[in-house]
Amino acid sequence: MNVTIVDYNSGNISSVINSFTEVAKDRVNLEVTSDLKKIKSSDKVVLPGQGSFKSCIDALNSINGLTDTLDELVINKKKPLFGICVGLQMFANVGYEETETKGLGWIPGKVSKIDNKNGKYKLPHIGWNQINIVKDSKIFKNIENNSHMYFVHSYEFIPEDKNVISATTDYSSNIVCSVEKENIFGTQFHPEKSDKIGLKIIENFMRL
């Protein structure tokens, strides 16, 4: 099985690479690349994202043909894709970080700044927080509800269809922290920084 981590210069993804490598061991052929041919031949794709919504979208768009290749894989061929942090946020139609920016449009919705209730909540939301699993998601197999995951973000994904939400976390409000729609999976938290439970989520994705 070929699993590709898309490297599109979106910041430091070494912890993503290390954790997926640890889970893959010798069972999975893991590639870290922006080569369209290799991405096209993938069985599963991982889309990391660090930085702002706009900077990640700009970085994706700067590689000629990359968004079309991802669309083809995810929307037409229905290959499993896992978006992490801004990788999840980019599923939206639009993001409002820095400036209004068009997203990938895979899951209708928007990415807006977390309401910090006039400074009551610090931004970014950073550190460990519990997740509330709200639907039976394949990536949460054998994960206990209220497990702690590691977060670093100031913006939240608000999907139009609440049925895609697989987990929320309580910070200022019920923030969407995981989605699942057919073959598309995403977490706002960082599984690669969430210790053994995070590695279990990565393993669940690899075993789909």
Catalytic residues: 85, 190, 192
Give the pair of three-digit tokens for residue 143: 């994960």
Distance CA 121, CA 91 (A): 26
User: How, if at all, do strands 173-181 and 184-187 pair?
Assistant: antiparallel
Strands 44-47 and 173-181: unpaired
Longest pairwise C-alpha distance within the chain: 50
* Chain mean position to CA 92: 11
